């Protein structure tokens, strides 16, 4: 099963991509579906794509809820 995870944008890179981090893991994802993403934004990320923006409180709650699951 694949889960979408909240991740925070740490850097915008070329060609509609961004470096994001969650739980100490960083990765590069496409932000084509969230073209106005900015450094510091929290995004819902799934299989290499940012799907939507999420507020910091919701991101924290989701990460806390997933802590014992994944």
Residue 10: give its domain's CATH number: 2.30.30.140
- Specify the DSSP class assigned to residue 24: T
- Owning domain of residue 55: 5-66
Domain count, the chain: 1
Q: What is the pLDDT of residue 54?
A: 98
Q: What is the DSSP string of 26-70?
A: EEEEE-TTSTT--TT-EEEEETTEEEEEE-HHHHHHHHHHHTTT-
Q: Which regions of the chain are under pLDDT 50? A: none
20-43: burial string, b at 16+ Cβ within 10 Å, e else:
bebeeeeeebbbeebeebeeebbb
Task: State the pTM of this model.
Answer: 0.90
Q: What is the pLDDT of residue 1?
A: 62
């Amino acid at each position: 099963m694949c889960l979408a995870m909240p991740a925070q944008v740490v850097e915008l890179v070329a060609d509609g991509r961004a470096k994001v981090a969650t739980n100490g893991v960083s990765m590069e994802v496409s932000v084509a579906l969230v073209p106005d993403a900015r450094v510091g934004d929290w995004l819902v990320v799934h299989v290499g794509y940012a799907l939507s923006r999420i507020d910091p409180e919701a991101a924290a709650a989701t990460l806390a809820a997933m802590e014992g699951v994944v």
